[in-house]
């Protein structure tokens, strides 16, 4: 490709609102342009990267025996009704009606479509397992788009769905996919952390995010230094220490508490530590239930964990009015004596403490020496606390906190979809049995952004060769007709050998060309200059390492020499 | 690929409603499945064909210097408002709103998106011309879907858009694209007819459909035998013969006409030929105008041509009430003395006739000896007649009628979009000038169906190699362990050499395997049998020609021998 023919050129400046390095560089270097928030055009350079990344994923999925298919983008809404997802709160589904009033969902994930396809066929246990995958445009009506290609409203996703006779067989595929994903990201230069994560409404024990450590990421996870435990903050388990468990139970006492509404106000007033206070957080869920989450004062309620324990899909902070309606008082909420309609959910931490203090459901009144079972009875108990850095894992090892970008995920669907959609195969015993399923996703756009987050410097992108738009960036620095001719010849030689080369043939200064080359970030720069040609040499520079080598400019040897450099 | 691992197998029967051969075969052989009407899943075999076809198009577009990009599927409706297409009557646009009430069109064609992208860049005449293309899912809210992949509501389209300084430069690209398209379809075994066609609301003289002759097609076109003229019936020009032009003008006479409302009734009553009668057809257009189309009695009004002449976007047949409201009478309409608000549009044929007869705007009254200019004055005149077979071309050659499938189209957009969207480049003289544009589409799914319409027989599909899902179909007919082992070895050898091979390793009868192979239609069948192995031979059968050859089963020579056969 001649750079003079690339109409969508590099630009010097991007809006100050564009913060993220990958976002800024993708725009500046001419890889993408925004259409509407969260919806992007891929320009020719970006398209080549997208095709490279897609191809790697396709190769590895094929190697793992998965079958490539594609479903329509518009999913008949009837299918989503079969699984109760059509109206699910919290799922960013877009819907559209056609002229005949048939309603469709814009595909955001394709479980229903794939199950509907599979149930069109009469299959037996002999046909299992199998795994089908597709690359298709997905739609999520996100409240906020952010960070360029990191969180989009429309994006390309590779989604795969596997079908099995039972959980045991599913586990094998799950392991295979985990290995496949690691290989995929390794080929793109992305070191992957496999993070235990939340399975949403489905439950089930197998669910992992494939995460690349990065400050730009939204996935916060905790891991022991030896890597033996690694989990998303929404699921990470940790050890609650015992506090005052040897103390005698002291009598419950209501005291005047002329204080503000914060935890800290309570600490100051009573001159007692935060971890002896009970933290009370009231929520309203989608069923209209008031949920009172209680936890040791120095811990934080994690809403994802809380949802699992109380079986809610959505939680909103209760309003002051809702709190007062159940005879309590904002800032002074207490499980002790609260209205029986309130569902009290206690964190495990409250089983390992004694003689706590906290609000008394009345303005400016607190209780001292609150004890579980004696003074209040939780309706539900479980792990609803957010794990934080320096906490101990259940095995007693210190947890460290990291941030990362979720580039893929693998998870157990079990019978969730096949049961609801009556998708069954004939088992060995001749009986119909529902498929046991798994699913496996990779976000292509986000993967591209992640590569750049990892591989860039002040000057621009530095692509790993596997994802680069071209292998070689040929720069002609001269205006001397003979050197220009030589550069053209070298370009032709490279093309003839099938090399992927971008040729900067523009009438620009060397400085401009170097700056653009640094910005675009092609792995190997091949420099043609008057001096070099006179000496019979081409300068080769590695974008990532900055290393410079020289090879002979002898036309017969150029590609061979370039191959040698590339492989050392 | 082992056939035992292909879960989406062939089936024997398809619903009787599925009539079209390509549709029946695609379903029976396991290439596609319907999701909703006009929306299809591609199964693994179909996916391979789709990828092959896509790859050919991509190669040829790249060779022609076009730049591959992609736009989002959801187009901000504001862009469509800039070109007045958001509410355009007759365009099957689907629209969707996001949670923030932003409205989007589901892309059916991408002129607005591409122009919006290009105007984000500051370009000069030096950057022109360029041509950008994409493969993307398109949506058309068709009243009726039909014929499997022939007319879909959601489909994959390659659409390209070129940008030029002026019409002259556009013409060069137009010719290049025409050649490119011919090469593309030639590579897929599809002989193309380039048919002049209608440019819709844009006008402009360059617009061609690329058509493959087929009874399954919806494009009716007329061509001279020598191919010097070939045009869609909506635009085909023809010679009007002169009728009675040497006669004297006879005085207009109103006569009693106790007859029915048809043309034939007039012929019988007056005992005069049909081609001396005036045919009057009244329409209401989208602006509320009554349009009276008049034409020689033996010709038919073509609405597309009529729309161009009178500048209407939509025409509906006028109701009896609307006809009476302007002082006329259904079955007896006449341009003579009709209400002045009616727009009279006369076909060219009425300039070559004299002394015509027809209705008199009153029940059971006709005029005899109607003559243009003397008795009525058309508001507009032009070519509004449907060309039919055996008519003469303007050059005097007989026109033949054919049907075909439109697999692609190329057309002039001119300044239509760039003007409305204020997309300009800086010209040599430093002034801003709007881009002169062209656009070029290929329907991928329809192309696949067309290949099958052309290449099939009673037993199944017979793919041209370029579009086939695999090159070789290896059939093992034996259950003898040694032969089975030999077949496995041959499969491995072929795989190792990078050959695309489907291996029928199933535990089925030879009859079943042959039937499936015929149905699936892979070009070269390689048969492993006990007898063959004993003789050291493999039988090779060409699916399209039925020709049988034998090659040595010597492992070292198999791929070489297959290559030789394939190329002869």
Closest residue, chain B, to A121 (C-alpha): B8
- Whether A457 shows a pLDDT value over 90: the answer reads yes
The predicted structure's pLDDT at residue A198:
86
State which of B382, B409, B427 marks the end of a domain.
B382
Domain at B351, CATH number: 3.90.960.10
Decide if B63 touches A, using CB distance below 8 A: no
Cβ(A272)–Cβ(A370) below 8 Å: no
Residue B357: exposure state from Cβ atoms within 10 A (0-12, 13-18, ≥19): buried
pLDDT at A89: 45
CA distance B236 to A381: 80
- Residue A129 near residue A141, CB atoms below 8 Å: no
Q: Is the pLDDT of residue B138 over 70?
A: yes
In the structure, what pLDDT confidence band is assigned to residue A568 with cuts at 50, 70 and 90?
Answer: low
Mean pLDDT of B184-208: 87
What would the pLDDT profile of A477-487 be if each residue is shown by its tens digit? 999 999 999 99
In a shared domain, residues B340 and B485? no
> Is pLDDT above 90 for B199?
no
Same domain for B359 and B416, yes or no, is no
B39 and A CB contact within 8 Å: yes
Based on the fold, state whether residues B191 and B304 are members of the same structural domain: no
Nearest CA in chain B to A7: B127
**Is A388 domain-assigned?**
no
Q: Using the beta-carbon criterion (under 8 Å), do B36 and A71 form an inter-chain contact?
A: no
The CATH number covering residue A477 comes to: 3.40.50.800
**For residue A422, is it left (φ>0), alpha (ψ between -120 and 50) or beta?**
left
Note the pLDDT tens digit of each residue in A318-335. Answer: 999 999 999 999 999 999
pLDDT tens-digit profile of A405-424?
A: 999 999 999 999 999 999 99
Q: What mean pLDDT is predicted for residues A351-380? A: 97
Q: CB of B198 within 8 A of CB of B235?
A: yes
Banded model confidence at residue A462, pLDDT cuts 50, 70, 90: very high
SS3 content of chain A, % helix, strand, coil (to 5): 30, 30, 40
The dihedral region occupied by B246, where left means phi > 0, alpha psi between -120 and 50, and beta the remainder, is alpha
Name the token pair of A498. Answer: 């099938």
List CB contacts (< 8 A) between B123 and chain A.
7
The pLDDT tens digits of the residues spanning A139-192 come to: 998 888 878 999 999 999 999 999 999 999 999 999 999 999 999 999 999 999
- The answer to whether residues B157 and B31 belong to one domain is yes
Q: Tell me, yes or no, whether A51 and A194 share the same domain.
A: yes
Could you tell me if A495 lies within 8 Å of chain B, comparing CB atoms? no
Cross-chain Cβ contact B69/A92 below 8 Å: no
For residue A130, the chain B residues in CB contact (below 8 A) are 5, 7
- Asked whether residue A459 is assigned to any structural domain, the reply reads no
Q: What pLDDT was estimated at residue B353?
A: 96
pLDDT of residue B201: 65
- Residue A142 to residue A152: CA distance in whole angstroms: 8
Higher confidence at residue B417 or residue A557? B417
pLDDT at residue A69 greater than cutoff 70: yes
B140 CB near a chain A CB, below 8 Å? no
Measure in Å the smallest separation between the Cα of A63 and chain B Cα atoms.
11
pLDDT band for B568, please (50, 70, 90 cuts): low
Lowest mean pLDDT among A275-284, B182-191, B192-201, B542-551: B192-201
Same domain, A141 and A201: yes
pLDDT at B89: 45
Q: Which residue of B has its CA nearest to A76?
A: B36
Same domain for A20 and A150, yes or no, is: yes
Least confident piece of the model among A83-87, B52-56, B103-107, B212-216:
A83-87
In this predicted structure, what is the pLDDT of residue A565? 75
pLDDT-derived band at B400, boundaries 50, 70, 90:
very high
Among A393, A423, A452, identify where a domain stops: A452
Is residue A421 a part of any domain in this protein?
Answer: yes
Decide if B126 is inside a domain: yes
Does A352 reside within a domain? yes
Cα–Cα distance, B114 to B422 (Å, whole number): 13
Q: Which residue in the set B8, B72, B113 is minimally distant from A121, CB to CB? A: B8
End-to-end CA distance of chain A: 26
pLDDT of A203 > 70? The answer is no
Check: CB of residue A92 under 8 Å from CB of residue A142.
yes
Contact A41 B104 (CB under 8 A): no
* Average of per-residue pLDDT across A106-128: 96
Contact A7 B36 (CB under 8 A): no
- In this prediction, residues A31-48 reach a mean pLDDT of 97
Closest CB from A65, A94, A137 relative to B98: A94
> For residue A543, what are the domain limits?
470-567
Query: Taking residues B16-42, what's their average pLDDT?
Result: 96
pTM, two decimal places: 0.92
Same domain, A132 and A215: yes
**Order of strands across the sheet that contains B74-76:** B74-76, B103-106, B94-97
pLDDT surpassing 90 at residue A230? yes
What is the average pLDDT score of chain B?
94
CB contact under 8 Å between A6 and B67, yes or no, is yes
Same domain (yes/no): B225, B321: no
Do B49 and B137 fall within a single domain? yes
CATH number at A7 reads 3.30.930.10
Calculate the CA dihedral of residues B246, B248, B253, B255 and round it to 10 degrees. Answer: -50
Residue B55 to residue B466: CA distance in whole angstroms: 10
Question: DSSP class of residue B220?
Answer: E
**Do both A133 and A163 map to the same domain?**
yes
The CA distance from B489 to the nearest CA of chain A, in Å, is 19
Residue A539 domain-assigned (yes or no):
yes
> Residue B402 and residue B388: Cα distance in Å, rounded?
10
Between B514 and A90, name the one with better pLDDT.
B514
Predicted local confidence at residue B176, as pLDDT: 97
Is A109 inside a domain boundary?
A: yes
Which band of pLDDT confidence, cut at 50, 70 and 90, is reported for residue A201? low
Across the interface, do A102 and B36 touch by the CB < 8 Å criterion? yes
* Cα A216 from chain centre: 11
Contact B374, B297 (CB under 8 A): no
Alpha helices in A29-118 (DSSP H): 44-63, 77-82, 111-118
Residue A245 resides in a domain: no
Check pLDDT > 60 for residue A91: no
Whether residue B229 lies within 8 A of chain A, CB to CB, comes out as no
Residues in B touching A136 (Cβ below 8 Å): 137
Over residues A267-279, the mean pLDDT reads: 97
- For residue B378, the Cα-to-chain-centroid distance in whole angstroms is 35
Mean per-residue pLDDT, B416-422: 95
Query: What whole-number distance in Å separates Cα of residue B541 and Cα of residue B548?
Result: 4
The total of structural domains in chain A comes to: 3
Say whether both A268 and A154 belong to one domain: no
Per the CB < 8 Å rule, is A130 touching B96? no
């Amino acid at each position: 490709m001649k750079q003079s023919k690339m109409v969508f050129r590099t630009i010097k400046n991007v809006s100050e609102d564009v913060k993220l390095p990958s976002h800024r560089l993708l725009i500046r270097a001419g890889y993408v342009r925004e259409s509407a928030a969260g919806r992007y055009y891929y320009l020719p350079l970006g398209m080549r990267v997208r095709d490279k990344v897609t191809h790697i994923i396709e190769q590895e999925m094929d190697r793992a025996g998965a079958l490539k298919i594609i479903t329509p983008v518009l999913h008949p809404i009837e299918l989503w009704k079969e699984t109760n997802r059509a109206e699910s709160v919290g799922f960013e589904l877009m819907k559209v009606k056609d002229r005949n009033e048939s309603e469709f969902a814009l595909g955001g994930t394709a479980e229903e479509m794939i199950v509907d396809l599979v149930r069109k066929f009469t299959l037996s246990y002999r046909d299992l397992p199998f795994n089908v995958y597709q690359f298709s445009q997905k739609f999520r009506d996100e409240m906020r788009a952010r960070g360029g290609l990191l969180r989009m409203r429309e994006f390309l996703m590779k989604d795969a769905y596997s079908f099995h006779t039972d959980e045991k067989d599913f586990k094998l595929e799950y392991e295979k996919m985990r290995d496949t994903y690691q290989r995929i990201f390794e080929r793109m230069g992305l070191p992957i952390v496999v993070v235990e994560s939340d399975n949403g409404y489905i439950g089930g024990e197998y669910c992992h995010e494939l995460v690349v450590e990065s400050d730009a990421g939204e996935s916060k996870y905790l891991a022991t230094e030896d890597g033996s435990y690694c989990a998303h903050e929404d699921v990470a388990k940790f050890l609650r220490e015992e506090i005052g468990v040897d103390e005698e139970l002291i009598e419950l006492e209501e005291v005047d508490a002329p204080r503000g509404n914060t935890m800290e106000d309570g600490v100051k007033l009573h001159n007692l530590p935060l971890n002896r206070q009970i933290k009370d957080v009231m929520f309203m869920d989608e069923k209209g239930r008031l949920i009172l989450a209680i936890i040791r004062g120095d811990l934080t309620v994690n809403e994802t964990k809380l949802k699992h324990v109380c079986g809610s899909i959505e939680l909103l902070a209760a309003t002051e009015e809702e709190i007062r309606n159940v005879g309590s008082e904002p800032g002074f909420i207490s499980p002790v004596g609260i209205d029986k309609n309130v569902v009290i959910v206690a964190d495990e931490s409250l089983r390992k403490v004694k003689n706590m203090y906290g609000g008394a459901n009345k303005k400016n009144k607190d209780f001292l020496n609150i004890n579980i079972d004696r003074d209040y009875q939780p309706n539900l108990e479980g792990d609803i606390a957010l794990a934080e850095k320096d906490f101990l894992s259940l095995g007693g090892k210190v947890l460290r906190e990291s941030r990362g970008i979720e580039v893929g995920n693998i998870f157990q669907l079990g019978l969730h979809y096949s049961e609801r959609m009556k998708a069954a195969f004939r088992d060995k015993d001749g009986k119909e049995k529902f498929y046991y399923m798994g699913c496996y996703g990779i976000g292509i756009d986000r993967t591209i952004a992640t590569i750049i987050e990892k591989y860039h410097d002040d000057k621009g992108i530095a692509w790993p060769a596997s994802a680069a738009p071209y292998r070689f960036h040929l720069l002609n620095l001269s205006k001397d007709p003979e050197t220009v001719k030589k550069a053209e010849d070298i370009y032709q030689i490279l093309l003839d050998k099938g090399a992927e080369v971008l040729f900067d043939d523009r009438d620009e200064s060397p400085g401009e060309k170097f700056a653009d080359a640094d910005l675009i970030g092609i792995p190997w720069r091949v420099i043609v200059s008057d001096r070099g040609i006179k000496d019979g040499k081409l300068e080769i520079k590695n974008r990532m390492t900055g290393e410079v080598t020289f090879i002979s400019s002898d036309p017969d040897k150029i590609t061979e020499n370039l191959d040698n450099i590339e492989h050392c």
